[in-house]
Amino acid sequence: MVPLTALLLPLLLAAVIVFVASSIMHMVLPYHRSDYRQLPDEDKLLPALRAAGLKRGLYMFPYCTHKDMKSPAIAEKQKQGPVGMLTVFPTGPVNMPKYLVMWFVYCLLIGLFVAYLTGRTVTPGAPYLAVFRVAGTAAFLAYGVGQLVNAIWAGQPWSVTIKHVIDGLIYSLLTAGTFGWLWPR
């Protein structure tokens, strides 16, 4: 068993490496540029949404409760469409520094759980690949597999989800490599 304190360096370095890699993947590489589309007739739709008084939150349309799901009125609304979910952020410019800090804290949190699990299951001095396998699997569960829920429940297109799963695989490999490299001998 390896104490968590002995894994602070790989935990921190993995978070930094994943943060930098994700920045490059999302800001420099072009493959995520098609993830979002513009609303049709946005100049007419946005004033209607403003007039409706939308506040920050997650909305489903047409809205119904569990008991209303089978009602003919809801079925007709769903048949006519559109059917979807809408996420509304706070009004104003996107606070990118806040999101980047939250993403880095998330990377640290994943590193903490990877360190905990790997430290409890892999002995000091273990071979690189033994550390890589456990750390990589744990990291992939968080960075990669966790993305599938967005396609299943939130209606995110599978093409976008698959790109995020691939990103998660890359982040996991970087995390696993960092832990394998810096594993206590």
- List, for residues 98-120, the tens digit of each pLDDT value: 999 999 999 999 999 999 999 99
pLDDT at res. 162: 97
Residue 161: partners with Cβ closer than 8 Å, 6 or more residues away:
147, 148, 150, 151
pLDDT at res. 69: 87
Nearest to 182 by CA among 114, 106, 117, 125: 125
pLDDT at res. 70: 87
pLDDT at res. 81: 93
Cα-Cα-Cα-Cα torsion 107, 108, 109, 112, nearest 10 degrees, comes to 130
What tens-digit pLDDT sequence spans the chain (185 residues)? 999 999 999 999 999 999 999 999 999 999 999 999 999 999 999 999 999 998 999 999 999 998 888 899 999 999 999 999 999 999 999 999 999 999 999 999 999 999 999 999 999 999 999 999 999 999 999 999 999 999 999 999 999 999 999 999 999 999 999 999 999 99
Domain ranges of the chain: 4-36+94-181, 42-88
Q: How many CB atoms are closer than 10 A to CB 75?
A: 14
Q: Which residues of 132-154 are buried (b: 16+ CB within 10 A; e: fewer)?
A: bbbbbebbbbbbbeebbeebeee
CB of 140 within 8 A of CB of 168? Answer: yes
Sign of torsion over alpha carbons 14, 19, 24, 26 = positive
Six-digit token string for 158: 């599978």
Single-letter amino acid code for the residue at 43: D
Q: What is the pTM assigned to this prediction?
A: 0.90
Count of positions (residues) in the chain: 185
pLDDT at res. 93: 94
